[in-house]
Each structure stands twice: as structure tokens, then as C-alpha cells.
Structure 1
Amino acid sequence: PGGAKSRSCVLPFKGDMSETYDVKIGGKDGGARGTLKLGAEGVKWQARESERSVSVKAADVNTAEWVSIGKHFQLRLRSSDNTDVRFDGFDKSDQKKLAEYCQNTLSAGLQVLKYDVQGKNGGEFVVDGGNLVFKVDHKQSFDINLADVAKASLNAPKDEIVLEIVQPENISKKQDSLLEMKFYIPNTEALDEEDPEEPQKKSVDLMHAEITKHLSEEMENDVVIKLEEIRCRTPKATFDITFYSHHFKMVGPSFDFTVKYKAVKDILVVPNQNHHNFVVIELDPPLRKGNTMYHHIVSHFPEYDERDIDGERETWQLNLPEDFDDRFDEFKFKDTVKEKMRGTLEEVFVQVVRLFSSQPGHPTRVHRNGKFREHLGEYPFVKASVGPNNGSLYILDRVFLFLEKPSIVIRFEDVETITFDRQQKKSSVANSFDIKIKQTDGKANEFNLIPKKEFENMAQFFKDVSSGKFEGKKMKIANYTEGGDDEGEKSSDEENLNRAGAQGNRMEDEDDDESSEDEDFQFDATKAGSESSEHSSDDDDDVESGSDSEAEKMARKEKKKEKKEKKKKAE
């Protein structure tokens, strides 16, 4: 799409007079406005609202193209390596000056291209140099630079090719960016031109093979290690994960992901009741598939690895990069990753991700079980729900972790207050309570239906952390009635529905003694007593109204009986 009308003026550029234009950067991640300077040594574009800049040397320009886009025009500078840079928002009157500049300074005549603008979505694909060109009626409609394509996936059953686009690191979150494109190629068969003797292949197979020739794939000698059949709960699939020097790839049956190590924030390893360990990788930025965002990779591993025989751990062979020693020498846990490692699948997975994701001065932290245990002293979590979803709230030494849906990680250092609330409606006794964790940035998370047996453990643990680690300045315990205006409000209808849904979904039998009075559980004894009497009177009123309705029903039945008897006598 074209930008606003360009404005030009004359500014110095390394001793020469140069033209400047107020235009947008074009291409897959375009849209940001900035200043384009044309100088003797080449062109440079600088964004207005960020540090992003794009430079092209005059000697590197192979061709220059002028394209009409809506009411405005686009300048394309293509290099000899088939990469191109695009600038949007020129006016038609700028063409003459740009043509002279391209001819005299860049030694490339400005070619005028005409595009098909009918808007048809059916045509043909042609791989032209380093570009994938889409043509309609033999006229170019649009093109994609294959240098911008991270991966081309083939969905053979549906005759589709999905292109995943490389995302720039410094693009603003406010900008739109092309993530992927999906193309359907009709189920027709064609001969393999390279080997006519081979069986006929479908057009989608041939096009996929042609595209992948131009993509920069990792070399086999760049693979550090490949771990197969890693079961993940989020995203839900079984993946083969290949670790490279600066990223790892997750290849699943339906979709794949590429994760850069510097996107890994922390790793959390926690147990569940089914003798499995969850390994949670926290990501920023998150993975994205369409409109779905994955802020965490949640995988699970058995407590006992079937590959361990007679107590002997499996041996894993790693291919470490040449710069391994220099790159990771500052980290104390560097020796946990070696060319030959012995351990379970989980141990190798965690150690490799931890070391390779550690950045200079910022080692990746692995959070494990801390001091907190539930009331039976066995697990580091309590049962809870978020909205209608049941799960487990893990309380570690530095973070809260909720699994499974949605997965939530909250660091203690970011917590301002923790509010306890008993959910008692028409009963004088609450079988569960809620907590509301308010963070220093104003965000709040509420966890519902925590069994009342966990109250004392949690309250004491939070008090110890608040006083011991933060001198009472963070993780302060508060009542709803003692907090701000929003904390004193009653639960909304939506919250009550979610709580009821979670309570209905929870598959557990509650002990009968949970319905008995528990004075220790009362957060405010005086208030609890008054509430108890109020609810008791409400219950009495309900019983009385129920008795009246029963009496009325009996009276109506007697009247009907009398009428029937009178009819029988009359007959």
C-alpha cells in the first residue's frame, strides 16, 4: 500500500548535495515512516519513531524499479544477490528526479513496472531469481523475496504450501507485519523435467522443491543434537526438536516452530501427581501460529526414563559449535553440556536449552521446587482454577506458576499485594477461598477455589517471603475490604459463572469434614461471626418460606381430591 504524499528538500550528505524524502519502508514488514536520503555513496532510510535504519550502497544496486501502487508510487532497489529494498509513498512528480539519480549515481536505469490490479486470487507462480512471482493473465500481481522466507512447509493432503516469513527483531509492536502466506496449488500432475523417467509428481510437489532450493537451510554440521518425540502440552503435539547454535526447531505432525535462544527468559521444572515432570520454557516474544500466541512451551517427561537400563543412563552425543568455549566460558554451569552427556531425556533437554539460551551477563535461570508444600507436605502446588479452567498453582521460591490453561508465570519481585477472599454465599462456612495477586504494573491475576486446608500454609509462606526477601514492601497480604475500591467490589456475574463452571469440572471428592466449622480459617473472626449469624437468619427464612410452599401444595391436592370425589358421586 502507498503512503502519504512525499516531501523533498535538499540536505548535505557527506559533502554532497542530496535529496531527502518523507516515505515509508516497504516490503513484508513495511509501514514505518521515516526519512530517505539519496547521496553519492548510496541511499539511507531512518525511521522516525525507532532506531531502525536501512542503507544500500550505490555499488550494490543492480536494478531500480518504479511501481504504481494506488495513488502513490514505490521505488525498488534490487541488489545483485536478488535482495531488494522498497520505499513507499512517492508522488508521480518525483519520478524524473529519481530516474536521474538512479542513472547517474547508481548506474541503473529506472524501469517502470506495470502490475495487474484486478484483485484476482487465481494465477500462476514463477520463481524468478530470488523472488517468487505471482502472475495473473501473464502480468505480475505481486512478488515475495525468498530471502524473507524462513520456511516453506508442504501440506500434501490439501495441496498447499505455507510460507513462514522472517520477522525483524526491532520492529515496533504497533506495526503490522506479514507472518505467513498459504497457497493452494490444484491437484494436477506434471513430469519431472530433470528426470522424465521418474514417476509423475504433482505440481505442488514440484513448486515446493523449487522454492526450497532458494531457501537458506541449516547445514547438517550445524546441528548440536536432535531429540525425538518430545511430548508437549502447549503447543499440544509431539515434536522432534533439533538444536542449532543460535536457535532450535520444533517439527510436529501438523506445524513447526523456530525458537531463537535469546527469546527464552526462564525455565521451570515442576512435578505433577502422575509421576511426570513439566518443563516450562518462558518466551518473549511468544511463538505465534495465526492468531494464537504461545507465551510458554510446556513439555512433560516421565519420572523414570524407559531407556535407563540397570541404572545406566543413556549416553548422548553432541556436536558443539567451534565458538563454544569462548561463548559460554563465563557461565559456571558450562560443564553441564559436553560432547558426551549421560542422563535422561529431560536432563539433556533442560541443560542444552539453559546453556545455549544464556546471554552474556544474563544466565538463564532454572526454577525448581522450593520450600513450599501443600498441607499434606508432598507437592509444591495447590489446586486452583482460573476462570472456568481447573489446574495447579505452583508456589516456588521465586515465582508463581499456574498450569495448564492458561499457563501463567508471575515473579515474586513483581507482586505488590496478595489478597485472600472467602467465597461464602448462603452458608456460614466456606469450603474454598480465592487469592488475587496484584502486580506492581497494575495487572492482577485471580486464582479461585483453592481448598481451605491450604490457607494457613500459604498465608504463612507469603508472610515469610514478604518480610524475609522484600522487607515487607512487596507480596503484602491484604483483605478485599482493606484494599482499594476495586478490591471491595463483589464478584461479577461472569466471575461467579466461571467459578461455578470450574467447581463443576473439578473431578475430586471433597471430604465430609470440610463442611464443618473451621475457626482457624476465618480471616477476620469478628466479621466471620457477624456473617455467620446473618447467613443463619437467611437460611432460617428460606426454610420457613419452603414450609409455607409445602402447605399450599398439600391444600391444593386436597381440593383436587374433593372435586374428583364429587364428580364420581354425581356420575
Structure 2
Amino acid sequence: MTTQFEGIYHGLGTDVGELRLATIGLGWKSVTTGSQVTVAASDIKYVQWLRVARNFQLRIILKDNRRRETFDGFQREDHEKISHVVKQHYNVILETKDVSLKGWNWGALDVQGSDLAFLVSNKTAFEVPLSQISNSNIVGKTEVSLEFAALEKKNPSTPSASKRKDADDELDEDGEHMDVDDDDETPAAQAFHDMIKEKADIGQVTGEGIASFAEVTVLTPRGRYDIDMFPAFLRLRGKTYDYKILYTSITRLFLLPKPDDVHIIFVVGLDPPIRQGQTRYPYLVMSFSRDEEVEVDLQLDEATIESQYNGNLKKHYEAPIHEVISAVFRGLSGKKITAPSGSFTSRDSHTSIKANLKAAQGDLYFLEKALLFLVKPTTLVEYTDIASVVFSRVGGGMASARTFDLKILLKMSPEIVFTSINKEEHELVEEFLKSKKLRVKNEMNDDIAAAAGLDSDSDEDMQSVASDGEDAPKPRPAAGNDEDSEEDDDFQASSSDSGSPSASESDDGEGAVTASDDSGDRDLIKKTKPKKTKEKKDKVDKAKGSKEKKGKKPVDDGNPRPKKKAKKQDD
């Protein structure tokens, strides 16, 4: 006897199909693609009925407790029929599972079979399959961050990996709902983190390892990690963090020499990136010494190497460690390794130049198809994404500046500015970028020309001021000496005592002027002399008045005497 239901979805897929329940088991078949899913009656452990987005769901829990099958699209009235069928064919009771609709963001955590359930008022709010958890990290003291593995694009019943590349979430755990003993000093977040690692097999090595590398120096994220290579993924194990990285997440590989001629940098591009707390690392950057060698035997036979890896791996390696690790990464991930081609060399014959990105100093590599800045923040700029490149000089366009800035204007993103580049690298960088058919604008020459123009203008202004000072008429004192000299003022005052013409003319506020002086000279003298001349005249008049009040007059003996002697007798 077979019971059939139409308009049923399998898992998260969008294909509609038919579900048939029989004594030997159940089977689902897609109407559009013809794909099939079968479950034997002997594998069924229990069956649940719950409300979901697409009406009602029939959940089949299997006996291995690590796998389940779900079917959506049932109507409410189908409950009684399904309950009777599963009791008759599989000898299990259809369990009705309540779902919380409160929308609270606080509750309790519970591991239910192969799922991590978040409960609100003892009802399930949502569930996370433990098999989809790829990593767990402790954020602070009370938070645990869970990262989920990207789903394969080739599976039509699951969303594409591109839509799930940032699939991660955080759970706050204060210990209220964790089963932790009061005497146990382990924080609740640490206990939850350990439980997730155990249940989801995050910290376990599953499958047979191919190769292992111990104590590898990693620059980002900084630390020393053991790298275990497996057929489908690699395990990055550190003292605090463990990462499971699928080979399908590797996007790029770079093998670059450092300018110190001592180390080699191996860069692994990741999408989705790995995460430590709130920081994401889209690039895994390793550092190796050139002279360090290693001997490794891969746990693969020759037939497997030829059939599965197209001969891109070798059974035995004995070479510098950076060559061995890069070769193993290339063989397992199927990605090519990008290395400097030699088309760009700096003034010191290196493949990179020193530059700053924001506040960090690093090495800027000019590769064949992209710019790569190492180490923090590791930045990759494809030439195809660049709209234009602008060279500008530091210090307001001064020709004496020793560095310059390289501004990268992108087509779809904000600009990137590399600063503090030695000016001796300018011609080499500009020539290389022009060879890549990029639009290059050089503001350095414009700045120098503008600065030179500004200096010439200043010189002309200074010359005009100097010429104006030479052509302008200079005021001349009455006695032919410096008009600002106090001795000349005293001399002029003594002349006014003797009743000289200059003294009488000073009453009108004018200084002594010769016949040869022109009107311009007189105008200047009027502007510069009247104040001092008038002050001296007032002093002289005051002195004469005081003498007249005292009644001192020269003695008249009938003999003519010089005025000075008469003045002396008066004294």
C-alpha cells in the first residue's frame, strides 16, 4: 500500500515533487529535474510534524542521529493521514513540534540530535545543523561566534555558496541556560565553545591526512599554526583559534620574495574570509625563510595522484619549505600560483617598493595583473578595476620633497592612496603602469611648475617694490643731513633762535626748502617734517618767553658786542 502527496518540496530546494510512503520506506521525485531521494524504513528513528514557512513540514530523523530529511508543503488536513501511515508502516508516532513565534532574541540553547536549537519559552525558535558549523570563536568573555560552511553550488537543493559566503552569527551566552556546575570555574562561553567544537567535530581531524606542517609563521592572522592538509580541506590549528578552510574557499595563491632577501611570503586568498572576533581576514599570509628546507612524504599513492590530482602533486618532496607548501596548496586547491614576472624592478632591483597605506608601512608589489600591498592591511587591486592613476608630490608641490603619493582611482570602489614612496621610484612606476595601458596623470610636474610660477611672481613683486623705492622722491632735510637725526633737529631749533628764515617759515608748518627743490619734494617734506619742526619751535618760543619774564637783558655800554657774548653776560 502506497500513500502519495503532491506539491512537496525537499529540503531547502525550490523544485516541486511527489512524495510516496510505502512499507519499505519513502521516496521523493522532482517533477522538473527527475532527481530522487529515498529513505529505507529500517533507517527511520522518529518523525516530526511542525509549522514552517511553506505550510507544514514532515521531518524524518534517521537512526545514525547525524542526518535528517525534510519535506515541506503539506496542508494542515494532511496531519491525520500522515500520522496513520507512519504508525502503520514504520511503527513510530508522529510527534508534533511546537515553534515559537514570539520573536525574542534571548532564550536557551539545546543540542537536539544533529541540530543546535535556540529555544524561547521551551519552544524552538530556529535550528542550526551542526554539520554546517565550520568554526567557533570566543568573542570577548560572553560571546561565541559561529561560522558556517559554504554550501556547494552544484547542489540544486541548496542556496549557492556566493549567497552564503558571509554566513555567520553570534550567540551571547551568560551561563543561565548552560549545564555548568557551580563549582566549575570554566566560563559559560568557553563551555559552550567546547561543546560546539565537540559536537560539530570542529577540533577533530576527520579523514586521513595528506600532509602536516608544524609551527608555520603566519603574519595575518598573526601567530604560529600547525597546518594539516586533508583531501577536501585544511586545518589551521593555533593555541587559541582553530580554522577549517575548504579548498573551494581558496581564490588566489601568491609566492613573493621580501625585499630583505631573507624571507619568502606565501599569500592565500580566501572567500569567505576567516575571522577572529570582529576582524575578518580575506588573506592568509605566511612567512618562510629562504634557507629552511623540509622533507615530506604525502599520504597518497601514485594512482591517486595521477587520477584525482592530474599529476600536480608528488609522492615525495625535499626542497625549501616555501616551495613544498606552495606546491601542496596548488595541487590540492587546483589554483595557479602568481609570482613576480620580472617586468618591474625597483631602483634597488627588488620586485616591490616601500609604501604606506593609511598608517601602515608595507611592500607594494607590481604584478602582471594586479597591485598587491603586504602585510596589513593586505590589499589586492586588479588593473581591470582601476579607472586612473594619479602621481602627486608631498609638501605642497615642492621640488625638494623626497617622497610622492600614488593615488589609485577605482571604477566601483573608493580610491586607494599609497603614500611616502621614494621619489627615485617615480619614473619606474610610471613607466610600468603606462605599459599596462592605464590612464596616468602626473601632478608632480604641474605642482613643480606652479611652485616655480609662484616664485617668479614673488620676484617680480619684490622687483617692482624695489624700483618704486628707487624712483620715489626722497625728502631732504633743510641742512642737507638725515631728517630723522636728533642733531639736525637741534641744529634747526638753534637756527630758529637766531631769527633765521627757516624759523619764520616753520610757523606755517613747513620746513626749509631750497630753490632747486620741486613741488614733489615740498609735498613730501610737508608730510614728514611739520610735526618735529613745530615741536622744536614751541620749545624755543617757550624758552624765550621764560627769559623775558625773568627780565634779564644785555648791558648796553655803547660798544657793539656779539650776540653770544651778550648772552653769556646775561648768564
Aligned to 1:315: 295
Sort the Cα spacing of 1:217 and 1:230 in 2 relative to 1 into closer, same or farther, 3 A.
closer
Q: 1:456 to 1:256 in 2, by over 3 A?
A: same
- RMSD between aligned residues: 4.9
Deviation at residue 135 of structure 1 after TM alignment: 6.5
Q: What count of residue pairs does the alignment treat as equivalent? A: 441
- Residue in structure 2 matching 1:292, options 274, 279, 294: 279
Structure 1 residues 210-249: aligned runs within 5 Å:
212=198, 215=201, 222-249=208-235
Q: Deviations over 1:350-406 (max 9, x none)?
A: 222122222xxxx522414623221233x2112223344432211134432111222
Return the alpha-carbon distance in structure 2 between the equivalents of residues 394 and 214 of structure 1: 40
Q: Secondary structure at the match of 2:439?
A: strand
- Do structure 1's residue 422 and structure 2's residue 405 form an aligned pair? no
Equivalent position amino acid for 1:448 in 2: F
Alignment of 1:52-201 (within 5 A): 55=37, 57=39, 59=41, 61-68=44-51, 73-82=56-65, 83-86=67-70, 92=76, 95=79, 110-114=94-98, 119=104, 121=106, 123=108, 125=110, 129-132=113-116, 144-150=128-134, 164-170=147-153, 171-172=159-160, 173-174=162-163, 177-178=167-168, 183=173, 185=175, 188-189=180-181
Letter in 1 for 2:392: R
1:330 equivalent among 310, 319, 326: 310
Task: Provide the rounded CA distance (Å) in 2 between the counterparts of 1:16 and 1:366.
Answer: 58
For 1:533-552, list aligned pairs within 5 A. Answer: 533-536=452-455
Distance 1:366 1:85 in 2: 43
Is this contact kept in 2: 1:265–1:364, CA < 8 A?
A: no
Match of 1:446 in 2: 416
SS of the aligned residue for 1:223 comes to coil
In the aligned structure 2, how far is the partner of 1:443 from the partner of 1:210?
A: 38
Closer/same/farther in 2, CA of residues 220 and 388 from structure 1, 3 Å limit: closer
Task: Indicate the residue corresponding to 2:540 in structure 1.
Answer: none
Task: Report the Cα offset of residue 431 of structure 1.
Answer: 4.4
CA distance in 1, matches of 2:17, 2:308: 41
Q: Give a deviation string over 1:43-64, Cα, whole Å, max 9, x none.
A: 36799xxx9x994547565433
Say if 2:327 is the partner of 1:408.
Answer: no
CA drift of 1:296 comes to 0.9
Structure 2 SS opposite 1:254: coil
Q: Supply the distance in 1 between the matched residues of 2:439 and 2:196 (Cα, whole angstroms).
A: 62
Alignment pair present for 1:254 and 2:229: no
Q: For residue 298 of structure 1, report the CA deviation from its aligned partner.
A: 0.8
Q: 1 CA distance for matches of 2:398 and 2:168?
A: 57
CA distance in 2, matches of 1:139, 1:415: 50
Assess if the C-alpha contact under 8 Å between 1:434 and 1:446 holds in 2.
no
SS at match of 2:426: helix
Deviation string for 1:125-173 (max 9, x for gaps)? 4x554445667787767655443444677x7996987765443123344
Contact kept? 1:162, 1:181, Cα under 8 Å: yes
Structure 1 SS opposite 2:342 = coil
Q: CA deviation at 1:231?
A: 1.7
Distance 1:266 1:207 in 2: 31
Q: Which amino acid aligns with 1:451?
A: N
**Any residues of structure 2 matched to 1:30-41 within 5 Å, and which?**
34-40=14-20
After superposition, the Cα gap between the structure-2 partners of 1:273 and 1:403, relative to the gap in structure 1 and judged at 3 Å, is same
The reply to whether residue 372 of structure 1 matches residue 318 of structure 2 is no
Q: Is the 8 Å Cα contact of residues 419 and 436 (structure 1) preserved in structure 2?
A: yes
Would you say the 8 A contact 2:212–2:228 is kept in 1?
A: yes
Q: Matches of 1:105 and 1:427 in 2, distance apart?
A: 86
Q: Quick one: distance in 2 between partners of 1:35 and 1:542?
A: 83
- Relative to the length of structure 2, the TM-score reads 0.61
SS in 1 for 2:389: strand
Q: Secondary structure at the match of 2:236?
A: strand
Q: Deviations over 1:455-511 (max 9, x none)?
A: 111122234x43xxxxxxxx3333289xxxxxxxxxxxxxxxxxxxxxxxxxxxxxx
Deviation at residue 226 of structure 1 after TM alignment: 1.9
Aligned equivalents of 1:178 and 1:222: distance in 2? 28
Instruction: Tell me the distance in 2 between the aligned counterparts of 1:397 and 1:104.
Output: 68
With over 3 angstroms needed to count, the CA separation of the structure-2 counterparts of 1:207 and 1:385, relative to structure 1, is closer
Report the Cα distance in structure 2 between the residues aligned to 1:98 and 1:540, rounded to whole angstroms.
Answer: 99
The answer for unaligned runs of 5 or more in structure 1 is: 1-14, 27-32, 192-198, 306-312, 467-474, 482-520, 544-571
Q: 2:430 is matched with which residue?
A: 459
Based on CA coordinates, which of the two structures has the bigger radius of gyration?
2
Q: What is the match of residue 263 of structure 1?
A: 249
Paired amino acid for 2:310: E
Structure 2 CA distance for partners of 1:144 and 1:282, relative to 1, 3 Å:
closer
Report the 3-state secondary structure (helix = DSSP H, G, I; strand = E; otherwise coil) of the residue aligned with 2:46: strand
Q: Which residue of 2 aligns with 1:495?
A: none
Q: Distance in 2 between matches of 1:398 and 1:207?
A: 42
- In the other structure, the counterpart of 2:524 is none
2:362 pairs, out of 391, 404, 412, with 391
Contact 2:203/2:242, CA 8 A, preserved across alignment = no
Unaligned regions of 5+ residues in structure 2, if any? 21-25, 154-158, 463-571
Q: Which letter maps to 1:532?
A: A
Cα deviation for residue 250 of structure 1 reads: 0.6
Could you say if the C-alpha distance between residues 287 and 329 of structure 1 is closer, same or farther in structure 2, counting changes exceeding 3 Å? closer
User: 1:187, 1:202 within 8 Å by CA — same for their partners in 2?
Assistant: no
User: For residues 87 and 289 of structure 1, do their structure 2 counterparts lie closer, same or farther at Cα, with a shift above 3 Å needed?
Assistant: farther
Contact 2:4–2:19, Cα closer than 8 Å, also in 1: yes
User: Aligned residue for 2:324?
Assistant: 348
Identity of aligned residues (%): 22
Q: TM-score, normalised by structure 1?
A: 0.61
